Amino acid sequence: MSQLEPFALGVIDALTALLMMAVDLLPEHLAAPFEYRFMQRALLTSVLVGAICGLLSCYVVLKRWSLLGDAISHAVLPGVAIAYLLGWPFFIGAFVTGALTSLGIGAIERHTRIKSDAAMGLMFTAAFALGIVIISKIATSTHLLHILFGNVLGVKTSALVLTLLASVVTLLAIWLAYRPLLLYTFDPQQAQALGFNTGLIHYGLILLLTLTIVASLETVGIILVVAMLITPGATAHLLTDRFTSMLAISVAVGVTSAVVGLVLSVSLDVASGGAIVLVASGLFLVALLAAPKHGLVARHWRRWRLNRAQA
């Protein structure tokens, strides 16, 4: 890990330099805030988080895992609190409780008569409550607010290194396991029949989801991260009938909302997490209305033409 650090810092500097070349193309008053180091860090974090959330959100949307994403993100809170108590890096605790909760949900589902939505609701509220109780004992309310709602302007270098690492792992995993993941998402029974280890794929995908959530904590916070895991994928699903295009569009939506939301939050002086999610929701609304094939306008237009042709 410690040998990795200088390497990761070098990569971060290189990526920041690349981003700044793009920022230099912006008009003066928009580009000005990015002269500050903390703004550059916030920008890079937003781009990375937008990208990996965009990728994962395609699987979340197609697999109907929205509630699971919500559950894992809430379950991360006690991990953050316990790590804080023990003086560990927050992401280790977050990852452990997030992963444990998803395992617990699976166990309840399989071994009792409780249905999956109840199992999820039960597990994540319990974990979240535990987190609230611990934090209320040990930390200030500002600290709690930052965990719950994110604070991208205060991202530390260590958190940025984690986000970078999570992005690399997610990208590699989706590239190397592209086909098994696609087949498992589309038709798990077929994946089983072709001899794929569906249990491994299932839990691998859940671990990727947990990793992405942990990496996004500082940017959008526990409460809103699930929006970044649903909205980009849902927007892309309205715009295309190809899985690869869906991945690309979803990443574009994720990155655009993260960056535009960051800029808006600075210029309007509002919470960054909320601004990012509102931009994403706005993009979804545009797609919902105006998507060429699956949008509401196009659907009504087709129905109207059909009715007129029959009349």
Partner 1 sequence: MTDPVPALQAHRLSAAYHQQPVLEEITLSLPQGQWTAIVGPNGAGKSSLLNLVIGSLAPLRGDLRILGQSPAAQRRAGNIAYMAQQEHMEWDFPISVRDTVLTGRYGLMRHDPLWQRLVPRRWANPSHRQAVEAALEAVDMADYAARPIGELSGGQKKRVMLARALAQQARILLLDEPLAGVDPPSEKLILATLERERRAGRTIIMVTHDMPSARVHADNVLLINRTLVGMGAPDEMLSDAMLARLAVGAPEPARGGARVAA
User: Rule CB under 8 A: which residues touch partner 1?
Assistant: 62, 175-176, 179-180, 182-183, 185-187, 189-196, 237, 240-243, 245-246
- C-beta of 114: minimal distance to partner 1 in Å? 14
Contact assessment for residue 291 and residue 277, using Cβ atoms and an 8 Å cutoff: no
Q: Is 61 helix (H, G, I), strand (E, B) or coil?
A: helix
CB closer to partner 1, 61 vs 94: 61
Contact assessment for residue 268 and residue 282, using Cβ atoms and an 8 Å cutoff: no
Q: Could you please report the per-residue DSSP string of 157-226?
A: HHHHHHHHHHHHHHHHHHHHTHHHHHHHHH-HHHHHHTT--HHHHHHHHHHHHHHHHHHHHHHHHHHHHH
- C-beta of 182: minimal distance to partner 1 in Å? 7
CB closer to partner 1, 232 vs 261: 232
CB closer to partner 1, 79 vs 180: 180
- C-beta of 131: minimal distance to partner 1 in Å? 34
Q: Which two tokens stand for residue 245?
A: 């295009």
- C-beta of 244: minimal distance to partner 1 in Å? 9
Q: Residue 64 corresponds to which amino acid?
A: R
CB closer to partner 1, 293 vs 300: 293
Cβ-proximal residues to 75 (8 Å cutoff; 6+ apart), any chain:
97, 98, 100, 101, 102, 123, 124, 127, 128
CB closer to partner 1, 88 vs 196: 196
Nearest-angstrom CA–CA distance, 169 and 93: 19
- C-beta of 205: minimal distance to partner 1 in Å? 16
- C-beta of 72: minimal distance to partner 1 in Å? 22
- Of 58, 107, 80, 45, the residue nearest 205 (C-alpha): 58
Nearest-angstrom CA–CA distance, 213 and 151: 15
CB closer to partner 1, 50 vs 180: 180
- C-beta of 294: minimal distance to partner 1 in Å? 9
Residues 5, 8, 14, 15, CA torsion sign: negative
CB closer to partner 1, 249 vs 280: 249
